[in-house]
Structure 1
Amino acid sequence: MAISKNYGKMFDIQDLALLRILLQDSRTSLQDMGQEVGLSTTSCWNRIKRLEASGAIQGYTVKVNLAQLGYQDTVIVQVNLESHTDETLYEFGRTLELIPEVVEAYLVSGDYDYYIRIAVKDTRDYERLLREKLYKIPGIRHSKSSFVLRTLKKSDTPFA
Protein backbone atom coordinates (compact mmCIF):
# COMPACT_ATOMS: atom_id res chain seq x y z
CA MET A 1 0.00 0.00 0.00
CA ALA A 2 1.52 3.32 -1.07
CA ILE A 3 0.97 6.41 1.05
CA SER A 4 3.15 9.12 -0.40
CA LYS A 5 5.10 10.02 -3.47
CA ASN A 6 8.43 11.65 -2.99
CA TYR A 7 11.21 11.75 -5.56
CA GLY A 8 9.10 9.39 -7.66
CA LYS A 9 9.24 6.58 -5.08
CA MET A 10 6.37 5.23 -3.06
CA PHE A 11 6.50 4.61 0.67
CA ASP A 12 4.85 1.38 1.76
CA ILE A 13 3.71 -0.35 4.95
CA GLN A 14 7.23 -1.50 5.80
CA ASP A 15 8.58 2.05 5.41
CA LEU A 16 5.89 3.26 7.82
CA ALA A 17 6.71 0.43 10.22
CA LEU A 18 10.37 1.47 10.20
CA LEU A 19 9.36 5.08 10.82
CA ARG A 20 7.18 4.03 13.77
CA ILE A 21 10.11 2.13 15.29
CA LEU A 22 12.47 5.07 14.78
CA LEU A 23 9.93 7.47 16.30
CA GLN A 24 9.67 5.24 19.39
CA ASP A 25 13.45 4.79 19.73
CA SER A 26 15.80 6.01 17.04
CA ARG A 27 18.59 3.93 18.58
CA THR A 28 16.87 0.63 17.78
CA SER A 29 19.35 -1.65 16.04
CA LEU A 30 18.89 -2.57 12.40
CA GLN A 31 18.74 -6.22 13.47
CA ASP A 32 15.84 -5.55 15.87
CA MET A 33 14.02 -3.44 13.28
CA GLY A 34 14.48 -6.16 10.67
CA GLN A 35 13.03 -8.79 12.99
CA GLU A 36 10.05 -6.60 13.83
CA VAL A 37 9.15 -5.74 10.22
CA GLY A 38 10.32 -8.94 8.53
CA LEU A 39 13.23 -7.49 6.55
CA SER A 40 16.96 -8.09 6.46
CA THR A 41 19.24 -5.55 8.11
CA THR A 42 20.47 -4.51 4.66
CA SER A 43 16.91 -3.89 3.46
CA CYS A 44 16.18 -1.86 6.59
CA TRP A 45 19.36 0.17 6.07
CA ASN A 46 18.53 0.83 2.40
CA ARG A 47 14.96 1.86 3.20
CA ILE A 48 16.08 4.20 5.99
CA LYS A 49 18.69 5.79 3.71
CA ARG A 50 16.00 6.26 1.02
CA LEU A 51 13.67 7.87 3.60
CA GLU A 52 16.50 10.19 4.64
CA ALA A 53 17.41 11.07 1.04
CA SER A 54 13.77 11.82 0.19
CA GLY A 55 13.42 14.20 3.14
CA ALA A 56 10.82 12.03 4.89
CA ILE A 57 13.34 11.63 7.74
CA GLN A 58 14.67 15.08 8.51
CA GLY A 59 17.00 14.18 11.36
CA TYR A 60 17.43 12.36 14.64
CA THR A 61 16.91 13.82 18.09
CA VAL A 62 15.95 13.02 21.67
CA LYS A 63 12.63 13.49 23.44
CA VAL A 64 12.90 15.75 26.46
CA ASN A 65 10.58 15.74 29.46
CA LEU A 66 10.21 19.47 30.04
CA ALA A 67 8.67 18.96 33.50
CA GLN A 68 11.81 17.11 34.60
CA LEU A 69 13.81 20.17 33.53
CA GLY A 70 11.64 22.50 35.60
CA TYR A 71 9.17 23.61 32.93
CA GLN A 72 5.99 22.42 34.63
CA ASP A 73 3.45 24.36 32.58
CA THR A 74 2.53 24.75 28.94
CA VAL A 75 0.64 27.80 27.75
CA ILE A 76 -1.14 28.19 24.42
CA VAL A 77 -1.16 31.85 23.41
CA GLN A 78 -3.40 33.10 20.62
CA VAL A 79 -2.25 36.38 19.10
CA ASN A 80 -3.73 38.96 16.74
CA LEU A 81 -1.44 41.45 15.06
CA GLU A 82 -2.33 45.02 14.12
CA SER A 83 -0.90 44.62 10.63
CA HIS A 84 -0.48 41.72 8.23
CA THR A 85 2.21 43.05 5.92
CA ASP A 86 4.97 40.68 4.88
CA GLU A 87 7.45 42.70 6.92
CA THR A 88 5.29 42.57 10.06
CA LEU A 89 4.76 38.81 9.78
CA TYR A 90 8.46 38.23 9.13
CA GLU A 91 9.58 40.39 12.07
CA PHE A 92 7.05 38.79 14.43
CA GLY A 93 8.21 35.30 13.45
CA ARG A 94 11.87 36.29 13.76
CA THR A 95 11.24 37.72 17.23
CA LEU A 96 9.45 34.55 18.36
CA GLU A 97 12.49 32.52 17.29
CA LEU A 98 14.58 34.51 19.78
CA ILE A 99 12.38 33.60 22.77
CA PRO A 100 13.62 30.24 24.13
CA GLU A 101 10.37 29.49 25.97
CA VAL A 102 8.47 29.50 22.65
CA VAL A 103 8.60 25.85 21.63
CA GLU A 104 6.16 26.04 18.70
CA ALA A 105 4.52 28.85 16.76
CA TYR A 106 1.99 28.65 13.94
CA LEU A 107 0.63 31.29 11.60
CA VAL A 108 -3.02 30.22 11.33
CA SER A 109 -6.30 31.06 9.66
CA GLY A 110 -9.38 31.92 11.68
CA ASP A 111 -10.01 34.32 14.54
CA TYR A 112 -6.36 34.65 15.56
CA ASP A 113 -3.19 35.13 13.54
CA TYR A 114 -0.85 32.93 15.59
CA TYR A 115 -1.01 30.00 17.99
CA ILE A 116 2.09 29.84 20.14
CA ARG A 117 3.03 27.04 22.53
CA ILE A 118 5.17 28.25 25.41
CA ALA A 119 6.94 26.22 28.13
CA VAL A 120 7.20 27.94 31.54
CA LYS A 121 8.13 26.95 35.07
CA ASP A 122 4.94 28.29 36.67
CA THR A 123 2.44 31.14 36.49
CA ARG A 124 4.96 33.67 37.83
CA ASP A 125 7.42 32.61 35.16
CA TYR A 126 4.70 33.13 32.55
CA GLU A 127 3.89 36.58 33.96
CA ARG A 128 7.60 37.45 33.69
CA LEU A 129 7.73 36.20 30.11
CA LEU A 130 4.68 38.30 29.19
CA ARG A 131 6.12 41.49 30.71
CA GLU A 132 9.73 41.07 29.63
CA LYS A 133 9.34 39.48 26.20
CA LEU A 134 5.93 38.90 24.66
CA TYR A 135 4.35 42.29 25.41
CA LYS A 136 7.48 44.05 24.15
CA ILE A 137 6.97 42.69 20.64
CA PRO A 138 5.63 45.57 18.53
CA GLY A 139 2.39 45.13 16.64
CA ILE A 140 0.40 42.82 18.95
CA ARG A 141 -3.21 43.96 18.99
CA HIS A 142 -4.65 41.24 21.24
CA SER A 143 -3.58 38.03 22.93
CA LYS A 144 -5.37 35.27 24.81
CA SER A 145 -3.60 32.71 27.00
CA SER A 146 -4.73 29.25 28.04
CA PHE A 147 -2.79 27.00 30.41
CA VAL A 148 -2.72 23.36 29.37
CA LEU A 149 -4.24 21.25 32.14
CA ARG A 150 -3.41 17.85 30.68
CA THR A 151 -1.96 16.56 27.43
CA LEU A 152 -4.31 13.94 26.01
CA LYS A 153 -2.33 13.10 22.89
CA LYS A 154 0.99 14.21 21.47
CA SER A 155 2.34 12.91 18.20
CA ASP A 156 4.52 14.27 15.45
CA THR A 157 2.88 12.10 12.80
CA PRO A 158 -0.63 10.89 11.97
CA PHE A 159 0.48 7.25 11.73
CA ALA A 160 2.63 6.61 14.80
Structure 2
Amino acid sequence: METSTDLDRIDRKILHALQGDGRITTTDLAERVGLSTTATAERMKRLIREGYILGFTAELNPQKLGLGLLVFVEVKLDKTTADVFDAFATAVGRSPEVLECHMVAGGFDYLIKSRVRDMTHYRRFLADVILNLPGVRETHTYAVMEDVKDTHVLPLWA
Protein backbone atom coordinates (compact mmCIF):
# COMPACT_ATOMS: atom_id res chain seq x y z
CA MET A 1 0.00 0.00 0.00
CA GLU A 2 1.20 3.46 -0.80
CA THR A 3 2.05 5.83 1.99
CA SER A 4 0.99 9.40 2.54
CA THR A 5 4.15 10.54 0.74
CA ASP A 6 2.43 9.42 -2.50
CA LEU A 7 -0.28 12.07 -2.01
CA ASP A 8 0.02 15.46 -3.61
CA ARG A 9 -1.26 18.74 -2.18
CA ILE A 10 -4.67 18.41 -3.86
CA ASP A 11 -5.17 14.85 -2.56
CA ARG A 12 -4.43 16.09 0.96
CA LYS A 13 -6.88 18.96 0.53
CA ILE A 14 -9.56 16.50 -0.58
CA LEU A 15 -8.91 14.20 2.38
CA HIS A 16 -8.85 17.11 4.81
CA ALA A 17 -12.15 18.47 3.49
CA LEU A 18 -13.82 15.04 3.63
CA GLN A 19 -12.72 14.53 7.24
CA GLY A 20 -14.48 17.75 8.14
CA ASP A 21 -17.62 17.02 6.12
CA GLY A 22 -18.08 13.57 4.60
CA ARG A 23 -21.37 14.70 3.05
CA ILE A 24 -19.88 17.53 1.01
CA THR A 25 -20.97 17.41 -2.63
CA THR A 26 -18.39 16.72 -5.28
CA THR A 27 -19.14 20.13 -6.77
CA ASP A 28 -18.49 21.93 -3.48
CA LEU A 29 -15.40 19.83 -2.86
CA ALA A 30 -14.10 20.66 -6.33
CA GLU A 31 -14.54 24.38 -5.65
CA ARG A 32 -12.76 24.05 -2.32
CA VAL A 33 -9.72 22.27 -3.79
CA GLY A 34 -9.58 24.19 -7.08
CA LEU A 35 -10.30 21.39 -9.57
CA SER A 36 -13.11 20.53 -11.95
CA THR A 37 -15.91 18.34 -10.65
CA THR A 38 -14.83 15.50 -12.94
CA ALA A 39 -11.18 15.64 -11.84
CA THR A 40 -12.24 15.76 -8.18
CA ALA A 41 -14.57 12.76 -8.62
CA GLU A 42 -11.76 10.79 -10.30
CA ARG A 43 -9.34 11.62 -7.47
CA MET A 44 -11.93 10.55 -4.89
CA LYS A 45 -12.43 7.22 -6.70
CA ARG A 46 -8.67 6.69 -6.72
CA LEU A 47 -8.34 7.58 -3.03
CA ILE A 48 -11.06 5.05 -2.21
CA ARG A 49 -9.61 2.38 -4.51
CA GLU A 50 -6.12 2.81 -3.05
CA GLY A 51 -7.43 2.55 0.52
CA TYR A 52 -6.85 6.12 1.72
CA ILE A 53 -10.59 6.51 2.29
CA LEU A 54 -11.97 3.55 4.21
CA GLY A 55 -15.63 4.58 4.20
CA PHE A 56 -18.16 7.22 5.14
CA THR A 57 -20.12 7.21 8.40
CA ALA A 58 -22.29 9.44 10.56
CA GLU A 59 -20.94 10.59 13.91
CA LEU A 60 -23.62 9.96 16.53
CA ASN A 61 -24.17 11.77 19.83
CA PRO A 62 -23.60 9.20 22.59
CA GLN A 63 -25.32 11.40 25.21
CA LYS A 64 -28.55 11.54 23.17
CA LEU A 65 -28.41 7.77 22.74
CA GLY A 66 -28.05 7.08 26.46
CA LEU A 67 -24.38 6.09 26.30
CA GLY A 68 -22.95 8.88 28.40
CA LEU A 69 -20.17 7.01 30.22
CA LEU A 70 -16.94 6.46 28.31
CA VAL A 71 -14.59 3.87 29.82
CA PHE A 72 -11.18 2.54 28.98
CA VAL A 73 -10.21 -0.87 30.32
CA GLU A 74 -6.69 -2.23 30.57
CA VAL A 75 -6.68 -6.01 30.18
CA LYS A 76 -3.94 -8.40 31.23
CA LEU A 77 -4.10 -11.95 29.95
CA ASP A 78 -3.16 -15.03 31.94
CA LYS A 79 -0.96 -16.24 29.05
CA THR A 80 0.43 -14.42 26.02
CA THR A 81 0.36 -17.15 23.43
CA ALA A 82 -0.91 -17.09 19.86
CA ASP A 83 -3.95 -19.23 20.66
CA VAL A 84 -4.98 -16.98 23.57
CA PHE A 85 -4.46 -13.83 21.45
CA ASP A 86 -6.58 -15.36 18.66
CA ALA A 87 -9.39 -16.45 21.00
CA PHE A 88 -9.42 -13.04 22.70
CA ALA A 89 -9.50 -11.15 19.37
CA THR A 90 -12.33 -13.34 18.04
CA ALA A 91 -14.43 -12.83 21.17
CA VAL A 92 -13.83 -9.07 21.20
CA GLY A 93 -14.84 -8.90 17.54
CA ARG A 94 -18.22 -10.38 18.46
CA SER A 95 -18.84 -7.87 21.29
CA PRO A 96 -20.75 -4.82 19.98
CA GLU A 97 -20.22 -3.02 23.30
CA VAL A 98 -16.48 -2.88 22.57
CA LEU A 99 -15.90 0.20 20.39
CA GLU A 100 -12.15 -0.22 20.09
CA CYS A 101 -9.62 -2.78 21.24
CA HIS A 102 -5.88 -2.37 20.79
CA MET A 103 -3.07 -4.79 21.59
CA VAL A 104 -0.43 -2.64 23.28
CA ALA A 105 3.16 -2.90 24.41
CA GLY A 106 3.82 -2.18 28.05
CA GLY A 107 2.42 -3.24 31.41
CA PHE A 108 -0.78 -4.82 30.04
CA ASP A 109 -1.91 -6.59 26.88
CA TYR A 110 -5.01 -4.81 25.53
CA LEU A 111 -6.74 -1.46 25.86
CA ILE A 112 -10.52 -1.55 25.35
CA LYS A 113 -12.75 1.47 24.75
CA SER A 114 -16.47 1.25 25.45
CA ARG A 115 -19.49 3.49 26.01
CA VAL A 116 -22.27 2.54 28.40
CA ARG A 117 -25.23 4.27 30.01
CA ASP A 118 -23.79 4.68 33.51
CA MET A 119 -21.67 2.99 36.18
CA THR A 120 -24.36 0.39 36.91
CA HIS A 121 -24.34 -0.64 33.26
CA TYR A 122 -20.54 -0.60 33.23
CA ARG A 123 -20.50 -3.04 36.17
CA ARG A 124 -22.76 -5.37 34.17
CA PHE A 125 -20.59 -4.96 31.04
CA LEU A 126 -17.46 -5.74 33.06
CA ALA A 127 -18.96 -8.89 34.58
CA ASP A 128 -20.83 -10.17 31.52
CA VAL A 129 -18.46 -9.22 28.71
CA ILE A 130 -14.93 -8.22 29.73
CA LEU A 131 -14.31 -10.79 32.45
CA ASN A 132 -15.73 -13.52 30.20
CA LEU A 133 -13.30 -12.82 27.37
CA PRO A 134 -10.83 -15.69 26.87
CA GLY A 135 -7.67 -15.48 28.96
CA VAL A 136 -8.51 -12.39 31.02
CA ARG A 137 -6.54 -12.39 34.26
CA GLU A 138 -6.80 -8.78 35.43
CA THR A 139 -8.44 -5.50 34.45
CA HIS A 140 -8.11 -1.85 35.38
CA THR A 141 -10.87 0.58 34.47
CA TYR A 142 -10.63 4.29 33.76
CA ALA A 143 -13.94 6.16 33.63
CA VAL A 144 -13.71 9.38 31.64
CA MET A 145 -14.79 12.46 33.59
CA GLU A 146 -14.38 14.97 30.76
CA ASP A 147 -13.54 14.81 27.05
CA VAL A 148 -10.68 17.25 26.57
CA LYS A 149 -10.17 16.32 22.91
CA ASP A 150 -12.05 13.71 20.92
CA THR A 151 -11.41 13.57 17.19
CA HIS A 152 -10.89 11.10 14.39
CA VAL A 153 -9.46 13.78 12.11
CA LEU A 154 -5.96 12.79 11.02
CA PRO A 155 -3.35 15.56 10.74
CA LEU A 156 -2.86 16.19 7.04
CA TRP A 157 -0.60 18.97 5.88
CA ALA A 158 -1.23 20.16 2.35
Report if TM-score (shorter chain) is over 0.5.
Answer: yes
Aligned to 2:134: 138
2:59 to 41, 53, 63: 63
1:158 equivalent in alignment to 2:150: no
Q: Secondary structure at the match of 2:64?
A: helix
Higher relative contact order (CA 8 A, sep 6+): 2
| Structure 1 residue runs without a partner (length 5+) | none
1:84 equivalent in alignment to 2:77: no
RMSD: 1.7
Identity of aligned residues (%): 32
Aligned pairs, number = 155
2:21 to 25, 42, 57: 25
1:46 to 42, 50, 53: 42
Cα deviation for residue 92 of structure 1 reads 0.7
Letter in 2 for 1:23: Q
Aligned to 2:115: 119
Q: TM-score, normalised by structure 1?
A: 0.90
Q: Secondary structure at the match of 1:144?
A: strand
| Structure 2 residue runs without a partner (length 5+) | none
Aligned to 2:32: 36
Letter in 2 for 1:6: E
1:75 equivalent in alignment to 2:61: no
